[in-house]
Amino acid sequence: MTETHQHWTWIGMDPNTSDDEWRRLLARLRQSGIQAILPEVVTNSAAAYASEHLPVRGPWLEQLLPLAAAAGLEVHAWMHAMPCNIPAVYQHHPDWYAVNGCGESTADKPPYVSYYRFLCPSRPEVQEFVGRRVRELAAYSELTGIHLDYIRFPDVILASALQPRYGLVQDREYPQFDYCYCEVCRRMFRDQTGVDPVALEDPAQDASWRQFRCDRISHMVREVLAPVARQAGKRVTAAVFPNWWHVRQEWHTWDLDGVMPMLYHSFYNEDLDWIGSRCREGVERLPAAVPLYSGLFVPALQPDQLAPAVRASMAGGARGVSLFASGSMSDAHWDAFASVNQKLTGNR
């Protein structure tokens, strides 16, 4: 039977598992209805393939590619894009890092958590640095696609359920979480509009300044990263936010081969219906040719909630789901997933 939908799973970086264990896991994924895997081959601090410019944790991508092919699974390389916690980079190139509305750099004062060291997308050196990993990954002929994650600015407003964790009440956009006010971004915006963003009375209310930041991330995707991948015949997808304006992520304009909004309902104090509504909203914003896959947060889903979450997503127009992440899927989760997927396939 032809599968008109496609399901995915993210797989956290794990270069230390044996071939036999991967064979078993990958077979289970395929039998349960997963068609594509997203192994995390670049984090904010290391690579799990033979990179020539990032610290390497091991040849994991090289291990997975033939095993996934044998299991009948597509491989899309999951890479973090904008945060970089490699000491040699933030120590030697602090100027590459994004600066907030208080003038503080993520290089030495990252917001929220110590690893939130985001680079500035306006810097040519940053475009070259992040583009290089795409070039390296795209050279793997067995790879189907490149999956962009953290392709955004830091959250100017965190998801509502996360704010209490940091003791924050973000009832508006505050300058210490608002990026990027580096010299390059300020100059570019001034050249476009005649206004220095630091002179804006209330930057949060300025539509052109917000648009400028969205455009910097969109430029990174459309002009820098996607062309490199596509030139090598790779598909390009991205993990994106439902509250895209809080991370300056205008993903509906990116012309990708698929988007995975992270519909992590528990982060927003929401229920499973919310997942379906966010899918519908996303599908309506996207061009018809761009499929949306609903990103499900498995740690907040009991096995018996998986089927309703998948059904809500499909009813909202999603072409499939992407599970975050395989490591959180118990046997009972896989059984439930296989069963809902059988019904989906049977209904089509």
Q: Please give the residue ranges that form the binding site for Zn ion (CB under 5 A).
A: 120, 122, 180, 182, 185
Toward Zn ion, which CB reaches closer, 203 or 295? 203
Residue appearing with tokens 């070039």: 135
Question: What is the closest distance, in whole angstroms, from the C-beta atom of residue 17 to Zn ion in the complex?
Answer: 39
Question: What is the closest distance, in whole angstroms, from the C-beta atom of residue 81 to Zn ion in the complex?
Answer: 15
Q: What are phi and psi of 335, to 5 degrees?
A: -60, -45
* E-strand stretches of 213-347: 235-240, 258-261, 293-297, 320-324
Rounded distance between C-alpha atoms, residue 169 and residue 152, angstroms: 22
Toward Zn ion, which CB reaches closer, 248 or 333? 248
Toward Zn ion, which CB reaches closer, 40 or 178? 178
- 33 contacts: CB under 8 Å, gap ≥ 6: 7, 337, 338, 341, 342, 344, 345
Question: What is the closest distance, in whole angstroms, from the C-beta atom of residue 98 to Zn ion in the complex?
Answer: 6
**Pairing state of beta strands 36-42 and 74-80?**
parallel
Toward Zn ion, which CB reaches closer, 42 or 120? 120
- Reduced to 3 states (helix: H, G, I; strand: E, B; else coil), residue 105 is strand
Toward Zn ion, which CB reaches closer, 122 or 237? 122
- Reduced to 3 states (helix: H, G, I; strand: E, B; else coil), residue 80 is strand
Question: What is the closest distance, in whole angstroms, from the C-beta atom of residue 201 to Zn ion in the complex?
Answer: 21
Question: What is the closest distance, in whole angstroms, from the C-beta atom of residue 179 to Zn ion in the complex?
Answer: 7
Question: What is the closest distance, in whole angstroms, from the C-beta atom of residue 123 to Zn ion in the complex?
Answer: 7
Toward Zn ion, which CB reaches closer, 79 or 185? 185
Toward Zn ion, which CB reaches closer, 125 or 284? 125
- Reduced to 3 states (helix: H, G, I; strand: E, B; else coil), residue 109 is coil
Q: Are 39 and 11 in contact (CB under 8 A)?
A: yes
Half-sphere exposure of 76 (CA within 13 A, CB side): 27
Q: What secondary structure does DSSP assign to 136-198, as a single string?
A: HHHT-TT--EEEEES-SPPPSS--TTTGGGGT---SS--GGG-B--SHHHHHHHHHHHS--GG
Question: What is the closest distance, in whole angstroms, from the C-beta atom of residue 213 to Zn ion in the complex?
Answer: 9
Toward Zn ion, which CB reaches closer, 120 or 310? 120
**What is the gyration radius of the CA atoms in the chain, in angstroms?**
20
Rounded distance between C-alpha atoms, residue 30 and residue 12, angstroms: 18
Question: What is the closest distance, in whole angstroms, from the C-beta atom of residue 198 to Zn ion in the complex?
Answer: 12
Rounded distance between C-alpha atoms, residue 201 and residue 159, angstroms: 26
